[in-house]
Amino acid sequence: MNEYDSLRIEKLRKRAVRPQIDFQGMYFDFFRRYSENLFLTDANERYADAFAFALENAEPSIDEGELIVGKPYHPLPECKRAQMESLRPVIDGFVGMNGQDSHMTVDLDLLLSKGIKGVIEMIDGYEAKADESKRSFYECCRKCLQAVCSFSGRYAVKAEKLAAECGDAIRKRELEKIAEICRKVPENGAETFYEAVQSVCFLNYCLSFDPARYYSAQQFQLGRPDRYLLRYYEKDTEEGRLDDGSAQVLLDCMAIQINNRVQRGLSSGYMVGGRDKNGKVVANDLTMMCMQVIDDIRLVYPSVGLCYTKGMPEEYLKKACDILSHGRSHPAVFNDDLITEGLKYYGVPEEEAHDYIHSTCVEITPIASSNIWVASPYTNMPQLLLDILDREYENMDSLYDAYFKHLDEVIRIHLDEQLAMRENRKNHGLHPLLSCFVNDCLERGADIDNGGARYRWIMPSFVGIANLTDCFYAIKKVIFEKKEMTFAELKKYLDSNFEGADDIRARLLEGVEKYGNNIREVDEIFSMITEHITAECEKYRDEKTGFHLVPSAFCWIMHEQFGRETGATPDGRAAGFPLGDGSGACQGREKNGPTSSVLSSTSWKHGKFIGGVAVNMKFTKKVFTKDSCAKVATLIKTYIERGGFEMQINVVDRETLEDARIHPEMHRDLVVRIGGYSDYFVCLSPRMQAEVILRTAHEE
């Protein structure tokens, strides 16, 4: 990358640390138009007209230095705020739906090969054969697609106007090129690398404007760019239109735009590596470049996953470790072979099982075909134990039986709630633009919320399993083996948050072995819990419809929220403190080093937890240097070879984190890994900052 482009990326990245993300102006136009069209009896017709109106009136935004455009900055003018409030009943009546959304990647290959024009031709063909009941849906899809093309055309006009006013010859040519590309894509199929990157980004930008999800920010993923961009990269470089430097700049600009459209605290990104639909290892120049993006822009997004598979050249894992040694929180490393087998177990064909995405943090969903609800919902595992500590138990088996009976009932209740939300979405949901790029919505003539998508699983996540393991083991030792207290006495200590009983808390916290230290007796409890979860979820498998209840063991930010709401627990954890941040050891409890930690976290079977497994490890900068990358790579490979699902690594010193707490203005772009996603450390709550600092930092 030349000096000019390096300065460009630096200016854009600094601006993106504090992005201005605002769709309110577009929402106002949508709902105002929608309210004016209430006389229309067809919901699809009302939606399509309002969607097109909103895009027609949205002012394109192109920042200085941008090469990839499509920025969601559409603030609501102050003079319209009162009108927006008057529309609140319309908004609430239109939205009014819970449930998951956007944790997915759409069919970007379809977009790039056919363009929107080609998708409209597909709709024409389906509509010609459809019965009357489906034609309204097809017409709505068509109008929304046309609106996206018109919107891109208005970006072209904006770029032309800026070019005409620009006195810088280089920037003038850049703006003229932006105009040329926006007139072509996404309406038409892409022919160059630049066109492909712009087309993909623009569609995801438009998908992020979703009136049906007004109260929830969208976080669509960019899939596998080292696959769908490769043919354009190879053709352009062969024909002399592109070199590695200019390709890297476009990838960096693409990544910066993710930060400009996704709210902080969420997660959005892409994956690289793995195997293609034919089983061939994907490892190419773009695989490297898409990882290099992390070092170039040093922002919270994109969340990058390297899918490591047997036979992948060592240089790709080495590249990932080298980037991590610089203190970056990406890439996370995923076990491609294990995940592929897991997807196949749940009925995904071989050719599709290689094409998946970590739909935000670590949740695995098939690309282009998903209406899978991830993390739906989160379950507080230690709280369920506290619920039943109101009686004495004869032995550990009777305690386990009571706990699992309670857990099973909670799983059933949660599933019923999710299915009820799905039924509501089926009757009222509308996502026509999204449905155009999700298999098999167009073929079925059904919206993604109305049964159109190929895969419609639900993925609950179970938070605090490590805490629960430590709780069970502590009870086993202090109550049943050592007979140091009764359940009534334990409950008294917990209810008072160990007030006046520091020695009891120390006994539970420090005097009993903990998960994460390769202690077989402890690890077996974790395995028992996960085996029960898997077996219980499998009871809801429906072969006729292809429905699965797929378990997860990650937390996003829920370990902090659940911890805040949960009283003291038998593992010695104080009331209000965050639960464990994934499926590794709880904060500060790894005493025997990283190898023991890996052995514990792979002592149970991850393969059916396709909903996501997060294992966080933290190293000091003194230990994790460029020279030690080979050792860390070996540790990661050991984890994967033993059946580990995913590993994410933080390389940061306690001193840096403490200084960031005191002087946040000096560390605005310090990114740390949380529980499956990354965030700016200075933006975290004080409790979460304390939790990150307390995590064990391996010194060897």
pLDDT tens per residue across span 88-101: 999 988 886 788 99
Rounded distance between C-alpha atoms, residue 115 and residue 507, angstroms = 64
Q: What is the pLDDT of residues 500-523, one digit of tens each?
A: 999 999 999 999 999 999 999 999
Written as six digits, the tokens of 19 are 């992005």
- Nearest CA to 162 out of 58, 62, 12 is that of 62
Rounded distance between C-alpha atoms, residue 342 and residue 348, angstroms = 9
Residue 488 pLDDT exceeds 80:
yes
Q: Torsion-angle region of residue 524: left (phi > 0), alpha (psi -120 to 50) or beta?
A: alpha
Residue 697 pLDDT exceeds 70:
no
Residue 699 pLDDT exceeds 70:
no
Question: Percent of the chain at pLDDT above 90?
Answer: 82
Residue 627 pLDDT exceeds 80:
no
Written as six digits, the tokens of 604 are 């149970």
What pLDDT score does 663 carry? Answer: 86
Work out the number of other CB atoms within 10 angstroms of the CB of residue 386. Answer: 18
Cβ partners under 8 Å of residue 316, min gap 6? 273, 283, 287, 288, 291, 306, 308
Mean pLDDT is lowest, of 522-536, 582-596, 602-616, for: 582-596
What pLDDT score does 700 carry? Answer: 53
What's the one-letter identity of residue 479?
I
Q: What is the mean pLDDT of residues 594-603?
A: 94
What pLDDT score does 588 carry? Answer: 83
SS3 (DSSP) at 429? coil
Residue 676 pLDDT exceeds 70:
no
- Nearest CA to 493 out of 567, 435, 562, 554 is that of 567
Rounded distance between C-alpha atoms, residue 308 and residue 27, angstroms = 41
Contact 259, 298 (CB under 8 A): no
Residue 652 pLDDT exceeds 80:
no
Residue 9 pLDDT exceeds 60:
yes
What pLDDT score does 357 carry? Answer: 98
Rounded distance between C-alpha atoms, residue 553 and residue 546, angstroms = 22
Q: What is the pLDDT of residues 415-451, one digit of tens each?
A: 999 999 999 888 888 999 999 999 999 999 999 999 9
Q: What is the pLDDT of residues 292-319, one digit of tens each?
A: 999 999 999 999 999 999 999 999 999 9
DSSP string, 215-275: TS--------HHHHTHHHHHHHHHTTS--HHHHHHHHHHHHHHHHTTS-TTS--EEEEESB
Using pLDDT thresholds of 50, 70 and 90, give the confidence band for residue 695: low
Using pLDDT thresholds of 50, 70 and 90, give the confidence band for residue 698: low
Please state the separation of Cα 313 from the chain's center in Å. 27
Cβ partners under 8 Å of residue 41, min gap 6? none
Three-state SS for 363-397 is: CEEECCCECCEEEEEEEEHHHHHHHCCCCCCCCHH
Residue 144 pLDDT exceeds 80:
yes
Q: What is the pLDDT of residues 335-364, one digit of tens each?
A: 999 999 999 999 999 999 999 999 999 999
Q: What is the pLDDT of residues 147-171, one digit of tens each?
A: 999 999 999 999 999 999 999 999 9
Q: What is the mean pLDDT of residues 603-607?
A: 97
Per DSSP, 299 falls in state S
Q: What is the mean pLDDT of residues 240-266?
A: 95
- Nearest CA to 244 out of 1, 429, 440, 63 is that of 1
Residue 102 pLDDT exceeds 90:
yes
Written as six digits, the tokens of 373 are 């609800």
What pLDDT score does 347 carry? Answer: 96
Q: What is the mean pLDDT of the chain?
A: 94
pTM, full prediction: 0.94
What pLDDT score does 106 carry? Answer: 98
Rounded distance between C-alpha atoms, residue 362 and residue 374, angstroms = 10
Contact 287, 316 (CB under 8 A): yes
Q: What is the mean pLDDT of residues 626-636?
A: 86
Using pLDDT thresholds of 50, 70 and 90, give the confidence band for residue 667: confident
